[in-house]
Amino acid sequence: MTAAYDVAGIGNAIVDVIAPATDAFLAEHQLAKGSMMLVDAEQSAALYAAMAAGVEASGGSAGNTVAGVGSFGGRAAYIGKVADDQLGRVFAHDMRANGVRFDTPPLVGSAATGVSMINVTPDGQRTMCTHLGAANQLAEADVEPSVIEAAALTYLEGYLFDPPATRAAFEKAAALAHGAGRRVAITLSDSFVVERHREALLAFLGRVDVVFANEAELTALFETGFDAALAAVRGRCALAAVTRSEKGSVLVTADAVHVVPAAPVAQVVDTTGAGDQYAAGVLFGLARGLPLPECGRLGSLAAAEVISHFGPRPLASLKDLATSSGYRLAA
């Protein structure tokens, strides 16, 4: 059956609070540059009080990715939990305005919509402190079978390994997708996530067709060097797409290695969302049946767009950018 959706994403529904910060600010608050740290309500309030004035924008890793798929002109759906509050309505609006189907019912309860405080240093690196709030309470019941079964690829966000309850949602989604003859993709999300959940992630890779990781995450997962980690992942997943910052990416299957360069960027302003948009390009390409090197190049193109400005999602139409780079993308 033809897929109604190119990609269905499942992730932590998060609104980003993005502000400029100095290296001294990171040091003072004991934040490891480039990482994502989970914080409770009290830590969240204290850090927010100390942060510079910022802007708010819908984020969440898989949320950014499906927004990117929408920007490529793809058909996407999203499953994630917001609260019934102002930021939750902002998140839902932005999802739908990007053409993404989003109808997970908002949480009724005391938790607010999750926020990620993103401190961006002058080198463009982002350091995130996330208070999951309602995102934490995504339930198995929120995984709507008709959405997963209709998506060419279901894309799972590794961050969801942190809330204990959401892992059941992953298992359900993977079973539904494979039951319908679809593919399952996952991103490892963050090297600290990998450290916290190494065994569970390794086990889960057995039910995954495509894995996304950056160098740090991949080497953390296999506790070895880059080349050995690449060899290890080949035995576990049909496809691994590994990003290497300015060195581009590597797409690895059992019998091929495709090295894809990064796309040029005039100035790196804010790396928030780089990996998410790379995944958007690759997933969109896979859903449309493009050759792997082409999938990687769409990923590079989308990543280059998002790091050239503040904010986690594309501001320009990725479809237009791809078209002007010579791609002909069907609707």
Which range, of 47-55, 124-132, 193-201, 222-230, touches its own copies by CB under 8 A? 47-55
Distance CA(324)–CA(111), nearest Å, equals 44
Q: Which of residues 257-316 bind its own copies (CB under 8 A)?
A: 310-311, 313, 315
Q: Contact with its own copies (CB under 8 A): which of 27, 32, 41, 97?
A: 97
Number of residues that bind its own copies (CB under 8 A): 29
CA atoms within 13 A of residue 123's CA, in its CB half-sphere: 8
The tokens describing 8, both together, are: 């269905």
Report helix, strand or coil for 100: strand
Tell the smallest beta-carbon distance from residue 20 to its own copies (Å).
7
Distance CA(306)–CA(239), nearest Å, equals 24
Q: Which of residues 137-156 bind its own copies (CB under 8 A)?
A: none
Q: Contact with its own copies (CB under 8 A): which of 25, 48, 192, 226?
A: 48
Q: Distances from the Cα of 8 to the Cαs of 43, 239, 288, in angstroms?
A: 32, 18, 14
Decide if residue 98 touches its own copies (CB under 8 A): yes
Q: Which of residues 119-138 bind its own copies (CB under 8 A)?
A: none
Distance CA(125)–CA(111), nearest Å, equals 29
Decide if residue 86 touches its own copies (CB under 8 A): yes
Decide if residue 84 touches its own copies (CB under 8 A): no
Consecutive H or E run containing 192: helix 191-196
Q: Which is nearer to its own copies, 67 or 318 (CB)?
A: 67
Tell the smallest beta-carbon distance from residue 46 to its own copies (Å).
12
Q: Contact with its own copies (CB under 8 A): which of 93, 195, 256, 261?
A: 93
Q: Which is nearer to its own copies, 104 or 113 (CB)?
A: 113
Which range, of 3-11, 16-24, 136-144, 168-176, touches its own copies by CB under 8 A? 16-24
Beta strand 5-10 with 151-157 is parallel
Q: Are 182 and 148 in contact (CB under 8 A)?
A: yes
Q: Which is nearer to its own copies, 92 or 194 (CB)?
A: 92
Q: Contact with its own copies (CB under 8 A): which of 57, 79, 156, 321?
A: 57
Q: Which is nearer to its own copies, 48 or 192 (CB)?
A: 48
Tell the smallest beta-carbon distance from residue 57 to its own copies (Å).
4
The 3-class secondary structure across 213-263, one letter per residue, is EEHHHHHHHHCCCHHHHHHHHHCCCCEEEEECHHHCEEEECCCCEEEECCC
Beta-strand ranges (E) seen in the chain are: 5-10, 14-20, 36-38, 55-58, 76-79, 100-102, 114-120, 126-131, 151-157, 183-187, 210-214, 239-243, 249-252, 257-260
Distance CA(122)–CA(77), nearest Å, equals 34
Q: Contact with its own copies (CB under 8 A): which of 67, 118, 143, 230?
A: 67
Other C-beta atoms lying within 10 Å of the C-beta of residue 97: 11
Q: Which is nearer to its own copies, 7 or 112 (CB)?
A: 112
Which range, of 23-31, 91-99, 151-159, 160-168, touches its own copies by CB under 8 A? 91-99
Q: Which is nearer to its own copies, 53 or 331 (CB)?
A: 53
Which range, of 14-22, 148-156, 246-254, 276-284, touches its own copies by CB under 8 A? 14-22
Residues present in the chain in total: 331
Q: Are 230 and 250 in contact (CB under 8 A)?
A: yes
Interface ranges with its own copies (CB under 8 A): 17, 19-20, 48-49, 51-58, 67, 85-87, 90, 93-95, 97-98, 112-113, 310-311, 313, 315
